[in-house]
Amino acid sequence: MSQAVSYEQFTGDPFKDLAPTDLLKGAADILQWAYDSYGEDVVYACSFGAEGMVLIDLISKVKSDAEVVFLDTDVHFDQTYELIERVKKRYPNMNIRMKKPELTLQEQASQFGDELWNSQPDKCCDIRKVKPLEQTLSGAQAWISGLRREQSASRSKTDFINKDNRFKSVKICPLIHWTWDDVWQYIQLNGLEYNILHDEGYPSIGCKHCSFAVTTDGDSRDGRWKGFAKTECGLHT
**Residues designated as active site:** 233
Establish whether 125 is an annotated binding residue.
Answer: yes
Residue 92 DSSP SS3: coil
- Pairing label, strands 67-71, 142-144: unpaired
Single out the residue of 63, 41, 59, 56 nearest to residue 88, CA to CA.
56
DSSP-derived pairing of the beta strands 169-172 and 161-164? antiparallel
Is 207 assigned a ligand-binding role in the annotation? yes
Tell me how far apart the alpha carbons of residues 29 and 32 are, in angstroms, rounded to a whole number: 5
Q: How far is CA 180 from CA 61, 68, 133, in A?
A: 22, 22, 26
First to last CA, the chain: 31
Residue 60, exposed/middle/buried by CB under 10 A (0-12, 13-18, 19+)? middle
Secondary structure of residue 129 in the 3-state scheme: helix
Distance of CA 199 to the CA centre of its chain: 20
Residue of 105, 133, 139 whose CA lies nearest to 208: 105
Binding-site residues sit at 124-125, 207, 210
Binding positions for [4Fe-4S] cluster: 124-125, 207, 210
